Amino acid sequence: MDETGTGTDTHTGPHTPDTPRATLGVGMVGYAFMGAAHSQGWRTAGRVFDLPLTPVMAAVCGRDPAAVRAAARRHGWAEAETDWRALIARDDVQLVDICTPGDSHAEIAIAALEAGKHVLCEKPLANTVAEAEAMVEAADRARERGQLAMVGFNYRRVPALAFARRLVASGRLGTLRHVRVTYLQDWITDPEFPLVWRLRKERAGSGALGDLGAHIVDLAQHLTGEHLAGVSALTETFVKERPLPGAAHGLSAAADGAGRGPVTVDDAALFTGRLASGALASFEVTRVAAGRKNALRIELNGALGSLSFDLERLNELCFHDHTEEAAVSGFRRILVTEPEHPYLEAWWPPGHGLGYEHTFVHQARDLVHAIAAGTGPRPSFADGLQVQRVLAAVEESARHDSRYTPVEPAP
């Protein structure tokens, strides 16, 4: 794997503006929060990075004709479709980007792969292990025809985290002993926040676990290059019933006053596990941590040093080198904005930081490179399946009073 661990090289080579580039037609399904974020990626990647193929935003798809037309105009898609099957059948679409709730990922991804398209699918890969396995099988068959499939764990593409991976892989932390990860949000703290799709198991698969836990399980494994061997877990749904939602189903939806319904996913999950090397790992995810908006924090402790990261300060990485003289050693803050840092060579001068949306630009960039090179992008669908198996083991353990539950090894 390359130094960013994203499956592609970060350096784009010399810019030759006069060389005409082949295009890559992109069709996206879904246009809410994630669709808007992915649109940013497709709009910007080819303007900032020197890409081997030029992404063309051919069409976006959603069920409501007026709303999808408005989304196409707003986010820069040339056309709008109301049927995802029509979108994947289009000759001008070579890559299908899936930004729908988890209950439709498997059906759309498998159909798109069978129709000869490359696929990018938002995380978590699916709502169940069985769906994720079927997606991996479809991706393996498609791979033989030269098509690629990637899952959208965008936080791998935060430059500070790509750099953290480089430091771990180069041995700067030595043997890892602890991996400590939390991902805390607060947007459903109010018991009157309505029962949006993210709070319904049949749509979302699980709650904070799949939404936030999928990210941190992927990151912990990606940064360390190791898999979780098993987990012991607790999950909780503090608010058991919520008002039914009105028309808006986003993170800031309003109730419509038409009664209440049961919350069928977790509000929070806590789990511990052991990595293949023996390092201990702990994870906490919640959407009811009042005051915490998007607090994804990671600390790694090794025999030679430690790293710590906070997504709310995403241009910074803190590093402690334990081989230094004790009197002057300690955590130092590295501003990850130098051209030598992953992805930064194409952005602003040092100190002019990046944000959340840039991770989607980097995701688009890496996938375009992988497609042009014909090499499997990471995270692959198999990586997504492995995370899904961890999530399933967490649920299984929580059902049995935190009983230690092994995670089935990755395919």
Contacts to ligand SOE by CB under 6 A = 33, 185, 211, 294
Measured from the CB atom, the residue of 90 and 362 that comes closer to ligand SOE is 362
Closest distance to ligand SOE from the beta carbon of 198 (Å): 7
Report the residue number, 12 or 294, with the smaller CB distance to ligand SOE: 294
Number of Cβ within 10 Å of residue 301's Cβ equals 20
Q: Whole-number minimum distance, CB 246 to ligand SOE, in Å?
A: 19
Which residue is nearest to ligand SOE, using beta carbons?
211
Residue 142 or 150: which CB sits closer to ligand SOE? 150
CA distance 289 to 185: 6
Q: Closest approach of Cβ 170 to ligand SOE, in Å? A: 28
Q: What is the C-alpha separation between 231 and 394, in angstroms, rounded?
A: 6
| Other CB atoms within 10 A of residue 182 CB | 20
Q: Residue 211 or 267: which CB sits closer to ligand SOE?
A: 211
Q: What is the largest CA-CA distance in the chain?
A: 66
Q: How far is the CB of 123 from ligand SOE (least distance, A)?
A: 6
Closer to ligand SOE by Cβ: residue 198 or 378 = 198
Q: Which two tokens stand for residue 351?
A: 């100190």
- Kindly give, in sequence order, each residue whose CB lies less than 8 Å from that of residue 81, ignoring residues fewer than 6 positions away: 27, 59, 60, 61, 68, 87, 90
Shortest distance, CB of residue 195 to ligand SOE, whole angstroms?
Answer: 15
330 to 223, 314, 338, 375: CA distances (angstroms): 22, 20, 22, 40
| Neighbouring C-beta atoms of residue 270, cutoff 10 Å | 18
Burial of 325 (0-12, 13-18, 19+ CB in 10 A): exposed
Q: Is the CB of 142 or the CB of 219 nearer to ligand SOE?
A: 219
Closest CB 52 distance from ligand SOE, rounded Å: 28
